């Protein structure tokens, strides 16, 4: 079964998205174990995580290919990416 790649987020979607700072991706993106493809970092603007708390995203579906990446689409929402750890 082919998995369709979602479209890149718009500037409006990015402006409204929560931010993950001091982030890292412990395993390679979209490896053979997608349950491990989560971004870990400090969250801001997330409806379920207090600002400044460490946590992890849901599974990564797509990540910006720019360097440094500016965004990631995960199964539950889109995130803006701040500085890497």
Express each pLDDT in 18-57 by its tens digit. 999 999 988 655 555 555 689 999 999 999 999 999 999 9
pLDDT of amino acid 82 = 97
Q: Residue 40 and residue 2: Cα distance in Å, rounded?
A: 28
pTM of the predicted model as reported, rounded to 2 decimal places: 0.84
Alpha-helical regions (H) of 1-85: 11-16
Q: Residue 63 and residue 39: Cα distance in Å, rounded?
A: 10
Average pLDDT of the residues in 1-10: 74
pLDDT of amino acid 1 = 46
């Amino acid at each position: 079964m082919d998995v369709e790649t979602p479209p890149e987020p718009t500037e409006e979607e990015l402006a409204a998205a929560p931010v993950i700072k001091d982030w890292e991706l412990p395993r390679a993106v979209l490896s053979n174990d997608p349950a491990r493809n989560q971004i870990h970092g400090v969250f801001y603007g997330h409806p379920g995580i207090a600002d400044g708390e460490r946590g992890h995203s849901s599974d990564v579906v797509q990540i910006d290919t720019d360097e440094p990446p500016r965004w990631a689409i995960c199964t539950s929402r889109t995130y803006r990416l701040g500085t890497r750890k």
